[in-house]
Structure 1
Amino acid sequence: MNWFFLQVTNPATTATADTLHKAATPGAQGEHVMNVMDLLANGGPLMIPLGLLFVLAVFFFFERLIAIRKASKIDPNFMYIIRDNIFSGNVSAARSLAKNTPNPVARIIDKGLQRIGKPIEAIEKSMENVGKLEVYKMERNLSVLSLVYGIAPMFGFLGTIFGMLQLFYNINASGEFTPAQIAGGIYTKMITSASGLIIGLLAYVGYNFLNAQIDKTVNRMEAASAEFIDILQEPTR
């Protein structure tokens, strides 16, 4: 009877001991851990253009972010000083302030100050033209982000298609395949699709975030322009 229980419990005891031994051995679990760098290396040659697209997206996102934040910095007292100078008849001081203030609002106001004495419609048109140029400056290079979020997923799918073609070609040529080989080939080739989608998603989010920041700055420019026109018309009311 003792011998029977020993025979029954011994395999379980051995299995438990082996499990504990594997859990305690760091290298035993290594083959089940996904190494990101190894996965990216297995993505194939199309991972190179995907990497370049990612670098472009990151570079131009931060380049535009810095430029837009610099353009959006507006002194809240700027228009009050302009108003006081215009009411006191000191237009030259107002122009000097506008020229020495490096942001789109100041450049728009400076153009309006240059046109003082002309019809309001002409002043508004001149300021509007300057505003369009300032918006163009802020939107410059945003097309790179839109290009990245448009073509990065396509590169990813293309890499997956090439990988699947290669996988099935090898199976057809050798005539030997196992489920493990097929699964391994598929998941490594799907790396390009995942990478392309992630890069495209990041570029899309960055593009829309920057556009939202530009819209906020444009609203400030429009508000300043409207306030300037009101200042010019106020003495005649």
Structure 2
Amino acid sequence: MQAVTDTVKNITDTANHAAQQLAAAPKELHFGELIVKGGLVMIPIGILAVLALVIFFERYFTIRKASKNESNLLQQIRSSIHSGNLESAIAICRNNNSPLGRMLQKGLLRIGRPIKDIEGAIENIGKLEVSKLEKNIGILGIVAGIAPMFGFLGTIAGVIKIFYDISMTDNYSMSVISGGLYVKMVTSAAGLFVGIIAYVGYHILNMMVDKVILQLETDAIEFIDLLEEPSK
């Protein structure tokens, strides 16, 4: 009987010890819980993140569409001009509905004037088209700058609250300090993450625009050369 009692006691002690270990084990961090514990500052950071993603993808697909190879367009225009069919060349540009098409259409409408006037018209339309491509890209640069600031603001506000609570309770234990601080550091991490994403997206889009500008300039030069061919 005593042996049975000792066995039951050992089992009970083992179970209690295991329960204590489970209770003492650190809880697993969940992303959603951290976001919620970050406080109200996470709201503007989240808005900035959504804004940055929307602008990036909208501009990315717009610029990508504008950067497609238009060598076929130039070939069609060359064929129409050589055959003396100017109206057909203008209609081809109008139906193309691309930055290059609009630039060349303006140049074709100026045929008969000095070549400098044609170059100026093409250049002006090119500037307008580039301005359209760059629309809202600057906002990504702003997001890249202010998102980390919001993150630091949230962390500083959290630290202030932690030390205020300590001053009220006289509880200087490390668990109290670290327990609140790691949560407040979430805002800094979130702000930096959004800022990095916006910064990278900003420079990717700018590089894409630069590539489009180079291609438009190259095609515009080829078009001017085409107009000068009969006079050579």
Confirm or deny a common fold (TM above 0.5). Answer: yes
The answer as to 2:113 corresponding to 1:87 is no
The equivalent of 1:182 in structure 2 is 177
The equivalent of 1:47 in structure 2 is 42
Taking the aligned partners of 1:226 and 1:131, their CA distance within structure 2 comes to: 12
Matched to 1:209, the amino acid is I
1:165 deviates by: 0.4
- Do the aligned residues in 2 keep the contact of 1:71 with 1:104 (CA within 8 Å)? yes
Taking the aligned partners of 1:93 and 1:63, their CA distance within structure 2 comes to: 33
The equivalent of 1:147 in structure 2 is 142
Q: Identify the match of residue 159 of structure 1 among 133, 154, 162.
A: 154
- Do the aligned residues in 2 keep the contact of 1:142 with 1:207 (CA within 8 Å)? yes
Aligned length: 218
Taking the aligned partners of 1:223 and 1:30, their CA distance within structure 2 comes to: 66
Matched to 1:75, the amino acid is E
SS at match of 2:71: coil
SS at match of 1:57: helix
Equivalent residue runs for 1:103-142 within 5 Å? 103-142=98-137
Which runs of at least 4 in structure 1 moved beyond 6 Å after TM superposition? Answer: 27-30
Structure 2: unaligned runs, 5 residues or longer: 1-13
Identity among equivalent pairs (%): 47
The equivalent of 1:59 in structure 2 is 54
Taking the aligned partners of 2:70 and 2:100, their CA distance within structure 1 comes to: 10
SS at match of 1:77: helix
The equivalent of 2:92 in structure 1 is 97
How big is each residue's C-alpha offset from its partner over 1:141-175, in whole Å with a ceiling of 9 and x where there is no partner? 11221111110000001111100000001001111
Query: TM-score under structure 1 normalisation?
Result: 0.86
Taking the aligned partners of 2:160 and 2:84, their CA distance within structure 1 comes to: 77
The equivalent of 1:197 in structure 2 is 192
- Do the aligned residues in 2 keep the contact of 1:72 with 1:103 (CA within 8 Å)? no
Query: TM-score under structure 2 normalisation?
Result: 0.88
1:121 deviates by: 0.8
Structure 1: unaligned runs, 5 residues or longer: 1-13
Q: Which has the larger displacement, 27-36 or 137-146?
A: 27-36
The equivalent of 2:168 in structure 1 is 173
